Chains A and B, each alone.
Chain A
Amino acid sequence: MNETYDLRVGESHIEVHKFHGGTILLSLLIAVVLQSFLPVYIAKAGMLDLPLLITIYFGLSRRNPSTGLLLGTIIGLLQDSLSKTPLGLFGIAKTIIGYLASSIGARLDTEHPAARFALTGAFFVLHQGIVILIQKLLLAQPQPWFTMRLLVACLVNATLGVFLYYLLDRFRKS
C-alpha cells in the first residue's frame, strides 16, 4: 500500500498523508479526555477545543471528505457525551468542519504554519457559529454571536493548533 500519494488538482500536486497505526484513534481519545480533564487543574484550559483541533488536522491531512466528516461526527458525539449538551450539537458542528477541512485540504497546500493558523482560526469561528446557530434554531437557547472570550479563544486555539499540528506531523508515515 502506498504510504503517501498525490492528488492532482489542476497544475498543483497535493500530498495525502497517512499515519502510523492507531495515531488517529489515540489522538482522538487523548483530545477528548484532556478536554474534560485539563480544566479541573487549569481553569483557563476550558477555552481550548482540542477535539476541534484534531478534527481540523486530520481533515486537512487526510484530504478525504468522507473520512473527515465521519471523524468529525465521532469526535463531536464523544464530546457531546461528556457534556451536558444534547447529543448531536457538537456532532453536527464537527461533522461539517471535518468535511470542510478535508475538502479544503484537497484543494490547497496547508502545510505552512501561517496557512494552518488562519485556517484553524477560521474553522474555530465557523464551528462556534454552527454551534450557536443550532442552539438558537433547534434548542431555543439564545446565545450571543460574538464575545471577547470567543475572539481570545480563537487566537489561542489557532496558536496552539500550529504547534499541535507540528507535533502530529511527527506521526506521519514518511
Chain B
Amino acid sequence: MAGLPSRHRSLFLLLGVVLLQVLLLAVQIKRDSQGRLLRVWTVSAVSPVERSGAWGVGKVRDAWRHYFALSDTARQNEQLRRENGELKLEIMQLQGKSAEADRLAALLNFKQKQNKVPMVVARVIGSSADPNSNVLYIDQGQRDGIRKNMGVITPEGVVGKVMEAYRDASQVLVVTDRDSGVGAMIADSRIQSPVGGTGEPLLNMKYVGNDDEVAVGSRVVTSGMDRIFPKDLPVGVITQVKQGGQYKQIRVKPSANLEKLEEVIVLLTTDPVVLKQEPPPAESSSTAPAKVPSGSATQPTSAANATKPSDKRP
C-alpha cells in the first residue's frame, strides 16, 4: 500500500474490505455457519442496553399513565362507576346460568392440565436491525432453558420459533418473516398445508389444491407436523382465497398481534408437545384450542420451573 498513490490507496482498501466480506459470506454459506462468535459478542453487548431501554420505557409509560394522564379522571371515574353498576348486574345474571358455570369449570380443568407443559414468559427487548426481516429479541436465553427451534406463542396464537439462543437473550424468527414456516391446517376441514411468511403482515398458505373447498373466515391452526408447535394452536384466520395455477392462493391474518408484541411465551421443549384436549361443547369447539396458552400464561414461570426440559432429557 505504501507504494501506491494516495488517491488509489483508499480504492484498494475498498476492494480489499469488500472482497474480505464476500469471502466471509461465502464461508458462511459453504459451512452453514452464521459467524456465531461475532453475533454472541454483539448481542451480549446490546441486549443489556435494550433490556434497560425496555425497563425505562415501561417506567416512563407507567409514570405517564399513573400521574400525567389523569386530567379527566373525575369524568372517567363517574363513567366507570356507572359502568361498574351495570357490570355488577350483568355478573349476577351470568352467575345464574348453569351452562356458563359448566364452561368455566371445563376451562379450569383445562388450565390445570396445561400446567404440565414447560413454558416461560419472556419480554420482547428488541427487533431485527434489518428492516427486511421479522426477527425479535427476548430477554430470556439458555440460562432459562431456551434452546434453538423452540416454539414461541402468545395466548392469541403462534408467534414464531427460537432461531438462536444466547446466554441471557434469544433471537426469535417471527412467522411473518419470508424464511418462516409453520405446519398448519384449516380447523374445520382439517386440510393440512404449511403456512409461511411473506415479509408482510399477512401469511401465505401454500399448498392447498384448487379443488379443495376453502372459505374466507376459516380458522387456521397448527397441525403439529413441524414438531415445534403443539397441535391446534391458533395460527390465524383466512382473509383471502384465490384460484392459482396449481394451488389456491390463500392469505392468512395472524391471530397474534405481531406488530405489538411485548411479552411472549416460549415452549421450553423441542420435543413434540401434546396439549391435552378437552372434549369441547359443540358450539365452542373451534375456540377451545385458542385458550391453550392463556391458561398457562397466567402462571407460566411456575409451570416452566416445574418441568424444565433439562429435567426431561437424558
> With the chains together, A41 CA to B58 CA distance in Å?
11
Main secondary structure of the interface of A (DSSP, over half): helix
For A79, give the chain B residue with the smallest CB separation: B129
A40 touches B54 (CB 8 A): yes
Interface residues as binary, A127-160 with B (CB distance below 8 Å gives 1, 0 otherwise): 0000100100011000100000000010000000
Interface residues as binary, A61-83 with B (CB distance below 8 Å gives 1, 0 otherwise): 00011100110010001111111
A87 touches B25 (CB 8 A): yes
Q: Which of A32, A48, A87, A89 contacts B38 (CB 8 A)?
A: A87
- What is the interface size of chain B, counting residues whose CB is below 8 A from a CB of the partner? 49
A43 touches B130 (CB 8 A): no
The answer to whether residues A88 and B22 also contact, given A32-B46, A81-B42 and a CB cut-off of 8 A, is yes
> With the chains together, A24 CA to B154 CA distance in Å?
40
> How big is chain A's contact interface, by range?
35 or more
Q: Could you give 11 example pairs across A and B, Cβ below 8 Å?
A: A32-B129, A49-B131, A69-B10, A73-B17, A73-B21, A81-B35, A82-B128, A83-B130, A83-B133, A85-B133, A88-B25
B42 touches A82 (CB 8 A): yes
* A-binding residues in B (CB < 8 A): 9-11, 13-14, 17-18, 21-22, 24-26, 28-29, 34-35, 38-39, 41-43, 46, 49-50, 53-54, 57, 124-133, 135-137, 163, 171, 173, 177, 179, 259-262
For A41, give the chain B residue with the smallest CB separation: B57
The answer to whether residues A43 and B259 also contact, given A49-B131, A85-B133 and a CB cut-off of 8 A, is yes
The answer to whether residues A92 and B42 also contact, given A47-B131, A84-B163, A87-B34 and a CB cut-off of 8 A, is no
Chain A residue contacts of B173, Cβ below 8 A = 84
Q: Is A113 an interface residue (CB 8 A)?
A: no
Q: Is A37 an interface residue (CB 8 A)?
A: yes
* B-binding residues in A (CB < 8 A): 32-33, 35-37, 39-41, 43, 46-49, 51, 64-66, 69-70, 73, 77-92, 95-96, 99, 102-103, 131, 134, 138-139, 143, 153
Chain A residue contacts of B28, Cβ below 8 A = 86-88
For B19, give the chain A residue with the smallest CB separation: A92
A36 touches B18 (CB 8 A): no
Most chain B Cβ neighbours within 10 Å, of A47, A86, A153: A86
